[in-house]
Chain A
Amino acid sequence: MYRDAVMKAVLANSLLLDVTLELTYRCNLNCFFCYNDRERPGTPLSPAQYRVLLEDLARMQTLFLMLTGGEPMVHPHFFDIGNMTRELGFVVRIRTNGHLLDPRNVERLLREVEPYTVEVTLHGATAEVHDRQTRVPGSFDRLMGNLRQARAAGLRCATVATPTAWNEHQIETMIALGDELGAPLRFQGPVGPRSNGDTAPLSIQPSRATWDRIETLMAERKESIAVGPECPASEAAPDADAEEMASCRVGLAGVDIDPFGNVKPCMHIREVAGNLHQQSIAEIWNRSPLFAQVRQRAIAAASRWNGERPRQFGAPIFCLAIDEMCGEVDGRRVGP
């Protein structure tokens, strides 16, 4: 019903249904494969600018918001912005590493933000593996404690993992851990290059066999396998199915807004449609040709697959950004 009735109307009317807010590139962990370039310069949006943005989005009938980063909870005005999203009636997901989900912050989240869900990144089923990826000793134990008390306090949580060569031997135990915590696990990926072009993270891609195993395991659980590097348009809709999530939907009904007000078709696409220091979100969404251009590039790129299901670095997805940055699909270099 949702996809048939609503998505048709969204697309026909060029509505901006979901928005990802990268609140900051700062982070309190130091994950080896993080795609963010923490040195990127820019003038952060102020709380007053976030207020204007969110009021504009509410008028535009945007429903889904994702607050992410970096680590969104280290933003000095995280709760002010979260409070605005609640007042303005958005369905909010928070993507966090969970390091700051202490009892006081959980209580504030429940009272001030009322998120639909909090998605916490899980890097492994043991401290050895998790902390190797985060490069912060003790981060696993802290996360486990935080997640348990957050669930006990009534916060709806989920876990998200990116399969890597370092954790692929723990796929089953990570799924079991998510279940035990009451925070079901889903997978995203593949590992992509950093936004500054650094390809070092690619050195820890998991095997294709791991992706096959994940698909089988998730199919057995009859849950969606949410692969793809954080495509908000596909993830935000609660009833989007696995097939849709496997497709790059860039340029359709969602945008990414970085900490400096740059509005992009997705967080992995480097081109900017406009900047909120100069224009309103409505002006950018309604006037920038970039969204349609990127959509056409995605369609043209996908046409190479002749109807077959593409894979990138073994993962069963097609991501335009990864395609254009790496030119790698299905083990072959096909792009620039």
Chain B
Amino acid sequence: MPESIQEDKVRLSGRVRFRDVAGQGVLVHLEEGRVLVVNDVGLYIIQTLGRQAMTVSELAEAVAQAFCVNAARAKSDVALFLEQLRGEKALQTVGRPGGGPAGG
């Protein structure tokens, strides 16, 4: 997984809208015009990143606790999911925990 995704704090792009539709997350990207459907774990991540910026590690810890899963597995899955979201232009980088430069 790319190092930048691990270190950066990311949050949901302001150009993304989403709702909890019976436990599934439905996302619409206002510029891309695409609809994404994610499961309950994906929805939890999206809801979390809609409220606050987090690193992969922070997010993975939250997911591991919320869904009672192995921390290492959670980190791997979260990193993969964030890569997918980034590919959909659904994330924005807001800065690094140590105060490093923010990127797009």
Cα(A225)–Cα(B101), bound, Å: 47
B24 in contact with A91 (CB, 8 Å): no
User: A62's contact among B15, B19, B33, by CB below 8 Å, is which?
Assistant: B19
A63 in contact with B37 (CB, 8 Å): no
Cα(A63)–Cα(B30), bound, Å: 12
The interface on chain B, measured as residues whose beta carbon lies within 8 A of the other chain's beta carbons, has a size of 18
**Chain A residue at smallest Cβ distance from B25:** A6
B22 in contact with A63 (CB, 8 Å): no
User: B22's contact among A13, A114, A116, by CB below 8 Å, is which?
Assistant: A13
The interface on chain A, measured as residues whose beta carbon lies within 8 A of the other chain's beta carbons, has a size of 23
Cα(A82)–Cα(B28), bound, Å: 18
Is A17 an interface position by the 8 A CB rule? yes
Interface residues in A1-58 (C-beta closer than 8 Å to B): 1-2, 5-6, 9-10, 12-13, 15, 17
B22 in contact with A89 (CB, 8 Å): no
Q: Hey, what's the 0/1 contact readout for A231-253 against B, CB within 8 Å counting as 1?
A: 00000011100000000000000
Is A61 an interface position by the 8 A CB rule? yes
Asked whether A61 and B21 contact (CB < 8 A) given A1-B37, A238-B35, A239-B35, the answer is: yes
Q: Closest CB of chain A to B31's CB: distance in Å?
A: 8
B18 in contact with A9 (CB, 8 Å): no
Is B80 an interface position by the 8 A CB rule? no
- Which chain A residues border B37 with CB–CB below 8 Å? 1-2, 5-6
B18 in contact with A89 (CB, 8 Å): yes
Cα(A2)–Cα(B35), bound, Å: 7
Cα(A116)–Cα(B34), bound, Å: 11
**Chain B residue at smallest Cβ distance from A7:** B21
User: B34's contact among A89, A90, A115, A238, by CB below 8 Å, is which?
Assistant: A238
B33 in contact with A5 (CB, 8 Å): no
A63 in contact with B24 (CB, 8 Å): no
- Which chain B residues border A6 with CB–CB below 8 Å? 21, 24, 26, 37
A91 in contact with B21 (CB, 8 Å): no
A-binding residues in B (CB < 8 A): 14-15, 17-24, 26, 28, 30-31, 33-35, 37
Q: Hey, what's the 0/1 contact readout for A290-322 against B, CB within 8 Å counting as 1?
A: 000000000000000000000000000000000
Using A6-B24, A61-B20, A63-B19 as known contacts, list a sample of 15 further A-B pairs with CB atoms less than 8 Å apart, ordered by residue number in A. Answer: A1-B37, A6-B21, A6-B37, A9-B22, A17-B21, A62-B19, A63-B17, A63-B26, A63-B28, A89-B19, A90-B17, A91-B30, A114-B15, A156-B30, A239-B35
- Which chain A residues border B15 with CB–CB below 8 Å? 114
- Which chain A residues border B19 with CB–CB below 8 Å? 61-63, 89
A5 in contact with B24 (CB, 8 Å): yes
Interface residues in A58-95 (C-beta closer than 8 Å to B): 61-63, 89-91
- Which chain B residues border A114 with CB–CB below 8 Å? 14-15, 30
**Chain A residue at smallest Cβ distance from B23:** A9
28 pairs, CB–CB < 8 Å, chain A vs chain B: A1-B37, A2-B26, A2-B35, A2-B37, A6-B24, A6-B26, A6-B37, A9-B22, A9-B24, A15-B21, A15-B22, A17-B21, A61-B20, A61-B21, A62-B19, A63-B26, A89-B18, A89-B19, A90-B17, A91-B17, A91-B28, A91-B30, A114-B30, A116-B28, A116-B33, A156-B31, A238-B34, A238-B35
